[in-house]
Chain A
Amino acid sequence: MSLSDARWTRAFAALPARWRTVALLAPLLILDGVVFLVPMGYLFRLSLAERTTGGAFVEGSWSLSGYEYVAETPLVHEIFAFTMGFAVLVTALAVAVAVAYAYAAWRATGWWRTALLAGAVLSLFTTIVVKLFAVVLVFSPRGVLNDLLVGAGVLTEPLLLVDNPVGAVIAQLYIVVPYAVLAVYAVLSTLDDHLVEAARDLGADGPAVFREVVVPHARPGVAVAAVISFTWSVGAYPAPLLVGSGSEQTNAILVSQLLLAEFDWPAAAALAVVTVAVVLAALLAGLWRLDDGGELLG
């Protein structure tokens, strides 16, 4: 039975217009429900279970002890604050790099443009572990970058760029920047050359064109890049774990510890729920601010 099966086509055409829309959306809604809503609901239920030392959680119990743990443990507060700070910093840097990179790609022509865009896309072909290993290769004290800088006489001592907070940030940037670049570039590529020329013609120099024409136009792309970078970085796990010093604990690392090492599922679930809630609130607030043109939230 194929999609073009006449019986199905007729049945579909017989539906009222409203139900036809629903029918078309149904596969997506089902997928969303199965892979997202159901697990989220289960997670939420778990966060309201009683904590116990005798197992993962007390089945069928109702309790706020998981949330109490999140609210009252100073270590959790510290990690939470670090995670947010880390995510904000990575987002700011990623968006800045992405705007500059996408602008360069947009300005470039021919092979240059192809090379710059390929650079962004190709890095998506590798897995996160390979990517992080590349970070270590490039940025470690005996890595490519330090060798170059020391060899050229710019530095006398290699910089410590891995196994510390700087490393964690660089590694996280490696993960999110390509997506941010593509988000900004996609919007930038719709910028009409004539607008840039008009601004030049009206006396704007290079930086003024960038500030007055390019950035306002790229705004929706910047918003998307920021959303991607922020949500991803709040959930940062491999980058701080593998390229950080070990003291850059994030919420994700803590959740995994609670789940796997401490076997405290209600606490882990509560922390995850709180993190998701904070991310959603931050995104809504941020988008509200970025979106005074009304393009994203409608």
Chain B
Amino acid sequence: MLELDGLTVTYGDLTAVDDVSFTVAEGEFCCLLGPSGSGKSTVLRAVSGFETPAAGRIRLDGADVTERPPNERDCSMVFQDWALFPYRSVRENVEFGLKMDGVPATERDARTDEMLELVEMAGYGDSRPAQLSGGQKQRVALARSLALDPDLLLLDEPLSNLDRRLRETMQLELKRIHDRVGTTMLYVTHDQDEAFTLGERLGVMNDGRLVQLDAPETVYDDPTDRFVESFLGTTNFVDCRVVDERGPTLGTPFGVDFEAPIDGAGLATGDAVVVSLRPERLSFAPAGRVGANSQAVGDGGEATVSVTTRVEETVYRGSDVRIRLSAGETTLFVEPSVASAPARATMLETRSSSPGRSFRSTVILRYRPIWTSPRRITVPSRLSHPATG
């Protein structure tokens, strides 16, 4: 459907998009995720024809559209600020593209009605954009783009101007509309929740390059590099050292060693390895409730190591609690859900405690091998080899 081949966009000396190649399949909902300035919106603008690539080709439905002006490409863009025409009614906005296409008035009317129905804005045909709320403008912008029945719908952070609750409603709405119309969609966002909610596949961009493009689970669980791991969610990066290359066994700064259930080929004793410990995968319990043996390897590759730490800080965040711990010479944070966290009273006690008074607790580093390779090492606790981290 959409094929990008070595797409490169430069502004003077700055390379905004650097050799990006990927394809989007017919009917797919593909998300591009990245921090601001990572080039994701520029990719979208190049596809829609607003940026001229310095190199590379863009193919839509097999046809090379790289040189075509925006009005001759069968794709439509939903802008971040929606860009509704302020002097036109909702209806006139929606039928604008059809009018430009020379569609006869009766057909135009029918199509416009259908689109307004689709986005649940049927009663608002005569309103002006200024009279609508953000969410309604969003719907109209979507209807306006979909009215043309484009082969490809490009969405440039369309929900980022909405408040959180409305954003979540609109995400589900967008998913429903995608299921119904089946239009191929390329969606750009910096919000990972949005990307995970919407995307069938998810591309992570950084510094103009497409770092990884995979199913959301794969991107989260098996990141290509340390950037992806750090960009998605929050994590603890812990510097470890290979103690024994058989296993391999890694020494942690918490004072415990553990046998990483990964392929140790390419690792030598003394090598530095960065381990990513996802806070949501770490268990946390007050000291004394964990058995004395600090390391246990369970069946099915599940292994646990427990580390005794000191609670330094507790942040209550509604659905979970973020606890910063010091362990050996380094710090870790864990995010137990409120239900599984130690009693609130204990938490408050630690928070209100005067500096210097410490609260001992144990973190169980429960890790599960997810993917093993000499170069990309991930445990749940995930490890990444210095060569790629």
Contact = CB atoms under 8 A, between A and B. Distances in A.
B97 interface: yes
B76 interface: yes
Nearest to A202: B97
B227 interface: no
B79 A203 contact: no
Nearest to B87: A216
Contacts of A293: 87
A201 B96 contact: no
Contacts of A194: 79, 81, 83
Interface in A187-245: 192, 194-195, 197-205, 208, 212-213, 216-217, 219
A202 B85 CA distance: 12
A203 B83 contact: no
Contact of B97 (A192, A203, A213, A216): A203
Contacts of A202: 71, 76, 96-97, 100, 144-145, 148
Interface string A164-201: 00000000000000000000000000001011011111
A213 B71 CA distance: 15
Nearest to B156: A194
A201 B48 contact: yes
A198 B83 contact: yes
A216 to B, nearest CB: 5
Contact of B70 (A197, A212, A216, A217): A197
Contacts, number: 65
B77 interface: yes
Contacts of B22: none
Classify the interface of chain B: helix, strand, loop or mixed.
Answer: loop
A197 B79 contact: yes
B83 to A, nearest CB: 4
Contact of B76 (A201, A204, A216): A201
Contacts of A204: 71, 96, 100
A212 B97 CA distance: 11
Interface in B56-105: 69-71, 76-77, 79, 81, 83-87, 96-97, 100-101
Contacts of A192: 81, 83
A189 B70 CA distance: 23
B95 to A, nearest CB: 10
Contacts of B100: 199, 202-204, 208, 212
Nearest to B154: A201
Nearest to B74: A203
Given A203-B97, A203-B100, A198 B87 contact: no
Interface in B101-133: 101
A200 B87 contact: no
Nearest to B73: A201
Contacts of B145: 201-202
Nearest to A198: B83
Nearest to B101: A203
Given A202-B97, A202-B148, A195 B85 contact: yes
Nearest to B92: A212
B87 A217 contact: yes
Contact of B50 (A195, A197, A208, A216): A197
B296 to A, nearest CB: 58
A205 B68 CA distance: 12
25 contacts: A192-B81, A197-B79, A198-B79, A198-B83, A198-B84, A198-B85, A199-B85, A199-B100, A200-B50, A200-B70, A201-B49, A201-B71, A201-B77, A202-B71, A203-B71, A203-B97, A203-B100, A204-B96, A205-B71, A212-B85, A212-B96, A212-B100, A216-B85, A216-B87, A293-B87
Interface of B: 48-50, 69-71, 76-77, 79, 81, 83-87, 96-97, 100-101, 144-145, 148
